[in-house]
């Protein structure tokens, strides 16, 4: 029995380390609305459906999803919804392969480019762009 304890302890340490590494933010998304910019740290998740939306103003909901496993499904996705009284309505979606191709130097907007989504009712504008965090920050 004592021979199994070190193996189990080692497995626990390895699994705990991988969970902590996965929880580290790998990207930062910058969302601007009404003249205010809010940064959102984006970590990899196992279940993309469990990522909640975040309210932006009184009209928009936004959700950033980063899935790195399985490798065949690795992708970064952004969803913007209109927060309607009956139910949210998807009005913008972005899909980018992960890991992303580095953006050319001097190109604004990180690997996603700058996106603008407009409110049809109030004539407001939401802008967002995302960048990959440097490896030393993602730890």
Domain boundaries, given as residue ranges, for the chain: 25-138
Q: What is the mean pLDDT of the chain?
A: 81
Q: What is the pLDDT of residue 47?
A: 93
Which region among 22-31, 36-45, 129-138 has the lowest average model confidence (pLDDT)?
129-138
pLDDT surpassing 50 at residue 3:
no
Threshold 0.75, pTM exceeds = yes
Output b/e per residue, 105-118; b: 16+ Cβ within 10 A.
Answer: eeeeebbbeebebe
């Amino acid at each position: 029995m004592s021979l199994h304890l070190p193996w189990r302890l080692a497995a626990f340490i390895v699994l705990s380390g991988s969970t902590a590494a996965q929880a580290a933010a790998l990207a930062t998304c910058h969302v601007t609305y009404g003249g205010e910019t809010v940064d959102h740290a984006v970590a990899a998740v196992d279940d993309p459906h469990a990522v909640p939306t975040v309210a932006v103003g009184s009209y928009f909901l936004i959700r950033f999803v980063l899935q790195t496993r399985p490798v065949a499904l690795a992708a970064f996705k952004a969803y913007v919804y209109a927060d309607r009284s009956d139910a949210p309505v998807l009005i913008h979606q972005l899909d980018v392969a992960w890991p992303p191709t580095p953006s050319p130097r001097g190109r604004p907007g990180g690997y996603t480019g700058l996106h603008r989504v407009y409110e049809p009712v109030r004539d407001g504008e939401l802008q967002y762009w995302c960048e990959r965090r440097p490896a030393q920050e993602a730890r």
